[in-house]
Amino acid sequence: TTAPQKFEFQAEIAQLLDIVTHSLYTEKEIFVRELVSNASDALEKLRHLQLTEKEIYDDTLTLEINVTTDDKAKTITIQDFGIGMTRQELVENLGTIAHSGSKAFLKALAESEQKNTSLIGQFGVGFYSAFMVAKSVKVYTHSWRKDETGQLWTSEGAGNYSIEESSGERRGAKIVIELKDECSEFSQDWRIKEILERYSAFVSFPINLNGKRVNTVQALWLRNKNEIKDEEYTEFYKFQAHAFDEPRLRLHFSADAPLAINALLFVPKENTEKLGFSRLEPSVALYCRKVMIDAKPKHLLPEWLRFLKGVVDSEDLPLNISRETMQDKALIEKLNKVITKRFLKFLEDEAKNRVDAYNEFYAEFGFFLKEGAAVDFTHKDQLAKLLRFESSLTEKGKTTSLADYVTRMGSEQKEIYYLFGPNRAAIESGPYLEGFKARNLEVLFCYESVDEYVMNSLREFDGKKLTAADHADVKLSDLPKPEGALSEDDTKKLTSWLKDTLGERVAEVKASDRLVDSPALALNADKFMSPHMRRMMKALNK
């Protein structure tokens, strides 16, 4: 064996540790959940490796988590027989900020005005949460790889850590925490029992506390939904999605045909992409009979459903499914179709039965549905039903569906009209709306650039064409001419004078039946170029 080697923490980790060690955050107990969650992840990974790898170190070990407390020595130890870590993995995983939770925490901290430690609870700082309660943390580990040696990682949470070789280690990781004096409660059996029962009831590996089993291993998604409490779902969501919020919506369903599926899907409370965090990764995990196949399968769901969390379990999948073979690809595609359809149906029901909840969901996640409507040809009809817009007939902030718009159409109205604009005030004060308003024709208001792609992709709804109200082809029926209107002759003279004066700058000057109060408006004669697109082209040409 060699002498311990000293390492400096990466600057961000040092900053994070400084906050964590000095935090007065009251819910310090979450460190247990974080470490158990890491242990469970490591076991899941091992279980998956066992399907594909022949050579695994210490292969006869039971896949379980052992927690031991020592109230004399004031320590708590959390050991798993998972994949463990090599020396290099220790440096990468515990010395650099490579994982999402802590990154998001630091970003939020940088952005928030008050340097607020309550953010720890909202984001979770994973492994480093141990330093809220620890004088020192030791990680004894041996990788699943046979040609590796055991390692011991040690830190007191200040700027550095050390790693040395350690003989006689079992596979996996054993984390020994020497508790701060004021945190000695976590070396008490009863205290940890209480915490484990709350957080870890759904961990799919046995957890033993001082030799006694605390959890009943069960896959929540395989249980009968009538027997599951809301809190159980919420805890499962937090655990499985590494989330710190409450789920906004959930769908738990099973199907037998065309594939045997048990799925449990969650919509989070907040859309973090909207908050400015990085693009979400697909994170509905794929399981086969309770064994995790892939935590972040790319093609299990369409891209625009990347905000969903949860689990899909299908007995029909081969355990060693590969992304390469055509047959396996086809299976995933089939799963994708079934689950997407089912989820869209669920949203349709929500929209019908729980209007407020749906509208709140839509305000937060509607962008993803629009993205789907714009790019996903297969599901665009189902998605069109879920879209919501403000309109000339809704109050500010209230929306209508396309279906409801259609019910308000008069018998002579053949098309659905919409207008683009940066906001309601801009559209309402523009000249394009007047002619429609005067004739009681409803116009949908589109504020987002994605709306343009949505309208172009949908083209129609319920057999009615979707038409931009500022398009030159739009014909409005004649209104009675107002008092003192120009004669046809005078109108002709005026328009030809205008054309002469404006010259090349306009294609044509016509008397319009659209205007009520405004003297003139510019119409878009180009079938393929909307004002918004023109603005974009202009910006590009600059």
- Under the binding rule (CB under 6 A), the answer on residue 80 touching ligand ADP is yes
Q: How far apart are CA 444 and CA 457, in angstroms?
A: 16
Nearest to Mg ion of 23, 38 (CB atom): 38
C-alpha–C-alpha distance, residues 54 and 154, integer Å: 32
- Shortest Å, Cβ 34 to Mg ion: 6
Nearer to ligand ADP, 82 or 247 (CB): 82
Residue entry with tokens 């340097």: 115
162 and 69 Cβ atoms separated by less than 8 Å: no
Residue corresponding to tokens 């580990």:
141
E strand or H helix that includes residue 355 = helix 355-375
The residue among 38 and 524 lying less far from Mg ion, judged by its C-beta, is 38
With CA atoms as reference, report the closest residue to 498 among 514, 516, 486, 510: 510
223 contact partners, CB below 8 Å, separation of at least 6:
none
> According to CB under 6 A, which one of 67, 120, 173, 344 is a site residue for ligand ADP?
173
Q: State the binding partner of 267 from Mg ion, ligand ADP, none, CB within 5 to 8 A by kind.
A: none
d(CA 264, CA 247): 12
Q: List the one residue from 9, 13, 23, 101 that touches ligand ADP (CB under 6 A).
A: 101
User: What angle do helix axes 449-458 and 531-541 make, rounded to 10 degrees?
Assistant: 120
What DSSP element (H or E) covers 382?
helix 380-384
Residue with Cβ nearer ligand ADP (85 or 201)? 85
Q: Which stretch binds Mg ion (CB under 5 A): 121-129, 140-148, 330-338, 357-365?
A: 121-129
Say whether residue 126 binds Mg ion (CB under 5 A).
Answer: yes
Alpha-carbon distance of 121 to 216, in angstroms, equals: 27
Interface positions, 119-148, toward ligand ADP (CB under 6 A): 126-127
Site string for Mg ion, 21-40 (x = CB under 5 A): -----------------x--
Beta carbon nearer to ligand ADP, 76 or 466: 76
Residue 529 labeled ligand binder: no
| Type of residue at 271 | N
Give the list of residues 6+ apart from residue 202 with CB closer than 8 angstroms, or none: 215, 218, 220, 232, 235, 236, 239, 240
Binding part of the chain for ligand ADP, among 82-90, 246-254, 284-292, 516-524 by CB under 6 A, reads: 82-90
Angle between helices 189-199 and 230-240 (to 10 degrees): 90
Helix, strand, coil share of the chain (percent; to 5) = 40, 20, 40
Q: Is 123 annotated as a binding residue?
A: yes
Can you say whether the dihedral through the CA atoms of 312, 316, 320, 325 is positive or negative?
negative
**Other CB atoms closer than 10 Å to residue 170's CB: what's the count?**
17
Are the beta carbons of 285 and 292 closer than 8 angstroms? Answer: yes
Taking CB under 6 A as the criterion, the residue among 238, 242, 252, 309 binding ligand ADP is: 242
Taking CB under 6 A as the criterion, the residue among 5, 11, 27, 99 binding ligand ADP is 99
105 is annotated as contributing to ligand binding: no
The verdict on 85 binding ligand ADP (CB under 6 A) reads yes
Phi, psi of 471 (to 5 degrees): -85, 140
Report if residue 267 touches ligand ADP, rule: CB under 6 A: no
Q: Which stretch binds Mg ion (CB under 5 A): 63-71, 126-134, 407-415, 435-443?
A: 126-134
Question: Any binding-site annotation on 230?
Answer: no
Which span (122-130, 360-368, 466-474, 511-519) binds Mg ion, by CB under 5 A? 122-130
Q: Measured from the CB of residue 32, what is the shortest distance to ligand ADP in angstroms?
A: 12
The minimum distance between CB 41 and ligand ADP, in angstroms, equals 6
Which single residue brings its beta carbon nearest to Mg ion? Answer: 126
Handedness of CA 167, 170, 171, 175 (dihedral sign): negative
d(CA 472, CA 523): 5
Read off the amino acid at residue 347. Answer: L
* Angle formed by the axes of helices 100-111 and 11-21, nearest 10°: 80
Q: Which two tokens stand for residue 197?
A: 């029962």
- Residue 131 is assigned to a ligand binding site: no
Q: State the binding partner of 42 from ligand ADP, Mg ion, none, CB within 5 to 8 A by kind.
A: ligand ADP
Which of Mg ion, ligand ADP, none interacts with 351 (beta carbon under 5 to 8 A by kind)?
Answer: none
Binders of Mg ion in range 395-434 (CB under 5 A): none
Residue 85 binds which entry of Mg ion, ligand ADP, none, with Cβ cut-offs from 5 to 8 Å by kind? ligand ADP
Q: Is 512 exposed, middle or buried (0-12, 13-18, 19+ CB in 10 A)?
A: middle
Q: Work out which of 16, 19, 28, 34 binds ligand ADP, going by CB under 6 A.
A: 34
Burial class (CB in 10 A: 0-12, 13-18, 19+), 220: buried
Query: By CB under 6 A, is residue 466 in contact with ligand ADP?
Result: no
Report how many residues bind Mg ion under the rule CB under 5 A: 2
Q: Is 15 in the site for ligand ADP (CB under 6 A)?
A: no
DSSP 313-359: EETTS-TT--SSSHHHHHHHHHHHHHHHHHHHHHHHHHHHH-HHHHH
| 366 assigned ligand-binding residue | no
Q: Is 126 annotated as a binding residue?
A: yes
Nearest Cα neighbor of 80 from 38, 125, 133, 127 is 38
CB of 38 to Mg ion, least distance (A): 4
Q: Return the residue of 16, 17, 31, 82 that touches ligand ADP, per CB under 6 A.
A: 82
> Rounded CA gap, 130 and 176, in Å?
10
Q: How far is the CB of 101 from Mg ion (least distance, A)?
A: 7
CB of 79 to ligand ADP, least distance (A): 9
Q: Which positions touch Mg ion (CB under 5 A)?
A: 38, 126
Q: Which positions touch ligand ADP (CB under 6 A)?
A: 34, 38-39, 42, 80, 82-85, 93-94, 99, 101, 126-127, 173, 242
Which residues does the annotation place in the binding site for ATP?
34, 38, 80, 85, 93, 100-101, 122-127, 323
